[in-house]
Structure 1
Amino acid sequence: MFTFSTRAAKLSLLPVTTLAAAAYAANRGRDVGYMDALSECPSADSETLQNWSGTHSSDFVKVYSPPSLSALKTLVASTADKIRCVGSGLSPNGLSFPSSSTTCVNLSELNTVLGLENDVVEVEAGMTVHDLLAELAKEGFTLPVLASISEQTMGGFVNVSAHGTGLGIGPIDAFVQSFKIVTPGFGVLELSRSDSGYQKKLFDLILVGLGCFGVVYSYKIKVVPKYNLLQKQFVLTREEAVRDMESLKRDYKHMRMMWLPYEDCVVVVASNPSDGSELPKLGVEGDPLQPMRELLKEKGSLDGKLVDGLGMGELRDELLNLDVLNPEWVKKVNAAEARFWKKNSGFVYDSNSKLLNFDCGGQQHVLELCFETTAGGATQGADAEFMLQLLNAIESEGLPAPGPIEQRWSAGSSATMSPAHGEGGDFCWVGGIMYLTTEDAGIRNKITSTFSGTYTDLMLKVGKAFGAKTHWAKREKGSVEAEEFNRIRKLLDPEGRCGNEWTTEVFGF
């Protein structure tokens, strides 16, 4: 078993102004030089940092990787520059990327499980979800919620309120019990879900902090015994999906729907825990990829043997790339994809970590909205109504919208900045997508223009009536009112050193 490290001192309940004056003066007055701090932190030269989809990049001179909490504290306290923590660079909007003249911090050296006790794991924020799952599995545990990918660091996972799918299962932040954060103004703080009064308010506000308050060092997160899932994948019509949505999302622990524009096809991926003692026939019959392969061989120029070796996401990219902005061609691609999903129906049995992590496709633009399923005063059904309105708007506009538009569900979170803020509620998440299928800069720019313009505006217009909020890692534009968020930022980071151009645009600070 693991052992816990020494706990950090907690923030006292002095008046805010007193705390700010005393702590900020103490931290800035430390007899530690900037170069002393950097000498403790391994660094790497780099010219450009680029996110996974290639949609955002940032130029910087060096990235520093502190090997210990002590080195991280010294670095944050000593540098006079802006400071921004960058993880795996997966966010579609480049949320973590530093602006110019920024000290870039990467926590790849802080990637250790510090303790596991009473179903709570303490983990350094630089550890990836994938690596944490591997360590937890050795002890018979897993995380209670998983997003679609596992390469993100725990710091990024929590800071943006990443989510999986399943009623009653909140975003990952809903399972955080406490965390340690290194701030420019107060040094190391530890905040806990069990705190009360003002400290609990700080916990809820900073938990989904978007990197704006400092650098999170570690989290204590509730874990659950690892389990296997029996996953059922099948296709419904839109009418059937609307009819069965309520029962499906309540009958299955994990359930998501994938809607295809211009096609009367809704893919359902639903799973429940299973011990494997009574399993149906697993797998699918025939070659589900045949419709997509035949279309690519007919219309494309790739060698037939090469086409036969491509997976589903690669086939979709190659097909779309033939005329990615032509709505009529995209309709044909979606039709071939619909035939794939119908042939790919069946059962799969595996661990939760393998089935809940899945291939999201190639480089892409994505916008994800979140809203309560009772939005607009409805007792139920806002999630189904949203999808019908969105698809109608896309198809009426004639957008070259590929599939799938993914729909997932979660419980709420106490975190103030979570898009699913509100304990006790049921929330729905819907993601629209366009794939960047080529390296041709001109075509990529046109795809970007279509998605960030017409497609995004359309989704936001439909979402407005449902009170929808945007997933932080997928928000590209627009400002939000965040008076309390900014007030605490100015307390913990008086000089605004932890933000970047994106946070300035969104929050005005």
Structure 2
Amino acid sequence: MSPSAPRASWRNWSGTARCTPRRVLRPVGEDAIVDAVTTAARLGLGIRAAGTGHSFNQLSVTDGLLVDLTRHTGVESVDRTAPSVTVRSGTRLGELAAVLRRAGLALPDLGTLAEQTVGGAVATGNHGTGLSFGPLSSLVTALRLVTADGTVHRLDAAKDPELFHCARTSVGALGLVSSLTLRCVPAFNLEVRQSAAPLEAVLRDFSGWAASAEHVSLSWLPWRRDVGIRTAERTAAPPTPRARLRRYSTTAQELCCGVTGLAGRGSATAVPALSRALSLPVPGPATYVDVSDRVFTFPQPVRFIALEHALPLERTPDALRELGGALRRAGQYSPYSVLVRVGAADEDSPLSPAYGRATGYVNLTVPRSAGQVELLRVVEHVMRAHGGRPHWGKAHTATAEVLAPRYPRWADFQRVRARVDPEGRFAGDYAVRLLGPVGARERAGAA
């Protein structure tokens, strides 16, 4: 790039983060990723990776070298015997699910967004729901990591297990992941049931509710006393006619929330009335069957901002009770429901938000207006008071000082980070805010 050439800008999907890097590279293939890393070293630039930009914070922002991995895509191999799939890190989850479906396989659980890249979703701790299912990173059985000196590490639980487990949830702080191998299961259909129940009845037996089906979630508009409950169980039944209408009905509801957010910008207290006025009837059957990935995900065209915290499962009911009171006192509501999901403990990845504990995930989405963004601070305060760990890819204000005590193996990750990136090549400003400078824990210990 010549000194007079205009520098390319980058922004995330929601428009909440943007930067003008010194250089933007879009590698295709592992050799090109290695070249990108060595180029950064030669020019003395920091490196951050970007996918489809679905992190709501500054995670990918850099004034150095931005490595855009969205062209580094494709399934490299499918092992039907294992079963497993090896996929390039820039591949979107929806594309991976489609390839697996054609091969008679599936991932056992997924989050709601199919547009994210596999590498980005794994690195930030994304998850679906169900007490038998850990985050997406727990499905990773091997990966290839390009570290700051250009070395390609072929990692699994037997080859440098400490680096492997840290790299599964790394927020991009250890290097660039080229490919990942994920554990699969035979393709399956899910029977979905929708119902409603009083919120307090669910909270009184929250652990029972969480274990009531393979996959469970609840949606709660905090000015109401009842919640919507969604359960999904495996079934041998074929997909229900018009089942796809239910998937797109969720998209339609998101569109209504977006319109409500625009209409309510002048008065956030009007959101409950506007939500009732603008709600749509749900098309299709209340109970239906569809293929797993179409049940887990749905298109999300409306741009928004989301916050999520991973709480100890047993503390989630009290957190929700307190959250309801805090929102009433604030006199503000989001048109989007509070979404509550659950998950198994992650026993291996030190920076997994689910590390060491069965987890309740509490998510709040808001429109991109200033008043609604302020609402996130109310939610964050409550979640933090109940032991919450923020989702690495969503909105939050936590720093390393707040985060370190919440992760029992924080120092283990810092030791591995100092080993593979001693000069802090992958430590952008935001990563330093989250994790501290490279080697800080080791220097403090030596002092």
TM class, shorter-length = 0.7 to 0.9
Specify the alignment match of 1:439 in structure 2.
none
Work out which of the residue numbers 275, 295, 298 in structure 2 matches 1:355: 295
Work out which of the residue numbers 52, 68, 75 in structure 2 matches 1:106: 68
Residues 168 and 410, structure 1, Cα contact 8 Å, conserved in 2: yes
Shift of 1:341: 7.1
Work out which of the residue numbers 213, 232, 238 in structure 2 matches 1:271: 232
Separation of aligned partners in 1, 2:60 and 2:122: 13
Specify the alignment match of 1:141 in structure 2.
105
**Secondary structure at 1:230's aligned position in 2?**
strand
Change (3 A) 1:210 1:125: same
Length-normalised TM-score, structure 1: 0.75
Specify the alignment match of 2:197 in structure 1.
236
Residues 26 and 70, structure 2, Cα contact 8 Å, conserved in 1: yes
Residues 260 and 335, structure 2, Cα contact 8 Å, conserved in 1: no
Change (3 A) 1:341 1:253: farther
Separation of aligned partners in 2, 1:123 and 1:70: 16
**Secondary structure at 1:63's aligned position in 2?**
strand
Length-normalised TM-score, structure 2: 0.85
Work out which of the residue numbers 323, 326, 345 in structure 1 matches 2:264: 323
**Secondary structure at 2:354's aligned position in 1?**
coil
**Is 1:188 the counterpart of 2:108 in the alignment?**
no
- 1:227-246 Cα offsets, whole Å, 9 max, x none, are 11111112222233325643
Work out which of the residue numbers 138, 155, 163 in structure 2 matches 1:174: 138
Q: How does 1:34-45 map to 2 (within 5 A)?
A: none
Shift of 1:488: 2.4
Q: Which amino acid aligns with 2:354?
A: A
Q: Which amino acid aligns with 1:469?
A: R
Work out which of the residue numbers 152, 161, 168 in structure 2 matches 1:200: 161
Q: How does 1:242-281 map to 2 (within 5 A)?
A: 242-243=203-204, 245-276=206-237
Q: Which amino acid aligns with 1:415?
A: S
**Secondary structure at 2:211's aligned position in 1?**
helix
Residues 162 and 416, structure 2, Cα contact 8 Å, conserved in 1: no
Residues 258 and 404, structure 1, Cα contact 8 Å, conserved in 2: yes
Change (3 A) 1:340 1:252: farther
Residues 186 and 492, structure 1, Cα contact 8 Å, conserved in 2: no
Shift of 1:345: 7.7
Change (3 A) 1:279 1:48: closer
Specify the alignment match of 1:432 in structure 2.
364
Separation of aligned partners in 2, 1:64 and 1:186: 16
Change (3 A) 1:430 1:359: farther
Specify every segment of 5 or more residues in structure 2 that has no aligned partner in the other structure, as ranges.
405-409, 438-447
Residues 27 and 33, structure 2, Cα contact 8 Å, conserved in 1: yes
**Secondary structure at 1:189's aligned position in 2?**
strand
Shift of 1:371: 1.4
Whichever of the two has the greater Rg, that structure is 1
Specify the alignment match of 1:505 in structure 2.
433
Identity %: 25
**Secondary structure at 2:54's aligned position in 1?**
coil
Specify the alignment match of 1:21 in structure 2.
none
Shift of 1:252: 1.3
Residues 178 and 190, structure 1, Cα contact 8 Å, conserved in 2: yes
Specify the alignment match of 1:90 in structure 2.
54
Shift of 1:116: 2.1
Change (3 A) 1:335 1:245: farther
Shift of 1:93: 1.1
Residues 178 and 191, structure 1, Cα contact 8 Å, conserved in 2: yes
**Is 1:490 the counterpart of 2:418 in the alignment?**
yes
Specify the alignment match of 2:312 in structure 1.
372
Separation of aligned partners in 2, 1:61 and 1:344: 50
Q: Which amino acid aligns with 1:312?
A: Q
**Secondary structure at 1:169's aligned position in 2?**
coil
- 1:55-90 Cα offsets, whole Å, 9 max, x none, are 111113542222222222233124332122111111
- 1:430-486 Cα offsets, whole Å, 9 max, x none, are 0122112xxxxxxx3x23xx52x4x33332332234211000001442312344433
Specify the alignment match of 1:420 in structure 2.
354
Shift of 1:169: 0.4
**Secondary structure at 2:51's aligned position in 1?**
coil
Residues 75 and 86, structure 2, Cα contact 8 Å, conserved in 1: yes
Give the length in aligned residue pairs: 418
Change (3 A) 1:360 1:239: farther
Shift of 1:336: 4.2
Separation of aligned partners in 2, 1:278 and 1:176: 29
**Secondary structure at 1:148's aligned position in 2?**
coil
Change (3 A) 1:55 1:464: closer
Separation of aligned partners in 2, 1:362 and 1:79: 35
Shift of 1:161: 1.1
Specify the alignment match of 2:390 in structure 1.
470
Residues 316 and 333, structure 1, Cα contact 8 Å, conserved in 2: no
Specify the alignment match of 2:441 in structure 1.
none
Residues 340 and 361, structure 2, Cα contact 8 Å, conserved in 1: yes
**Is 1:162 the counterpart of 2:126 in the alignment?**
yes
Specify every segment of 5 or more residues in structure 1 that has no aligned partner in the other structure, as ranges.
1-34, 36-43, 290-309, 375-381, 437-443
**Secondary structure at 1:491's aligned position in 2?**
helix
Change (3 A) 1:411 1:357: same
